Amino acid sequence: INIDNEYGTRLADSLNLPVIRVSADREADIRAIDITDDIHGLRATLDFSGVHAPMTSVLTGRFNLENILCAAGAAFATGICPESIARGIAALERVPGRLEKLPTELNRHIFVDYAHTPDALESILKTLAGRAPARLITVFGC
């Protein structure tokens, strides 16, 4: 359970079951440390309660890091070792339509996202604006 938000923390604390807590900000069973999140992707060290595994991903953005941590927690719960989890994360090339970076030889960074609500579009634009090496051009439509 992602404990980087109030709801996740309440949920994890309310369950009378063993849970794996994940976080990019706080002490947790699995946490990301030494995080780099830029236009090229994510890099961090995954800390599995003291066992460290370097992680790289072509995905960018805080929401992708949180999703990666939750997936790592699910994989760890099934007995997959931290090194294999990190290799699996590195092997993921893209999530179609979810801040998907398109290959190009134009010396440009082109992303596609199927943001379909005002909040989702705002989140994507904030994520990219913080990473854009120059200006951000947006094409929006359906």
Tracing tokens 């990666």 back to the chain, one arrives at 68
Do 34 and 76 belong to one domain? yes
pLDDT score, position 41: 93
Where do runs of H (alpha helix) occur along the chain? Answer: 6-14, 62-77, 82-91, 118-129
Q: Is pLDDT above 90 for 71?
A: yes
- Are residue 53 and residue 85 in the same domain, yes or no? yes
Q: Write the CA distances from 104 to 48, 94, 99, 108, 120, integer angstroms.
A: 36, 14, 15, 7, 25
Q: Which long-range contacts (CB under 8 A, 24 or more apart) does 83-86 make?
A: 83/53, 85/46, 85/53, 86/46, 86/53, 86/54, 86/55
Q: CA–CA separation, 45 vs 24, rounded Å?
A: 10
What percentage of the chain carries pLDDT values higher than 70?
99
* Residue 65 shares a structural domain with residue 107: no
> What domain range includes position 119?
96-142
**In this predicted structure, what is the pLDDT of residue 141?**
76
19-65 confidence digits (pLDDT tens)? 999 999 999 999 999 999 998 899 999 999 999 999 999 999 898 99
**Are 17 and 87 within one domain?**
yes
CA separation for the pair 109, 41 (Å, rounded):
11
For 94-105, how does the pLDDT look when each residue is reduced to its tens digit (9 = 90+)? 888 888 888 888
Q: Do both 23 and 46 map to the same domain?
A: yes
Domain count, the chain: 2
- Domain match, 73 and 103 both: no
d(CA 45, CA 20): 17
- Quote the mean pLDDT of the chain: 92
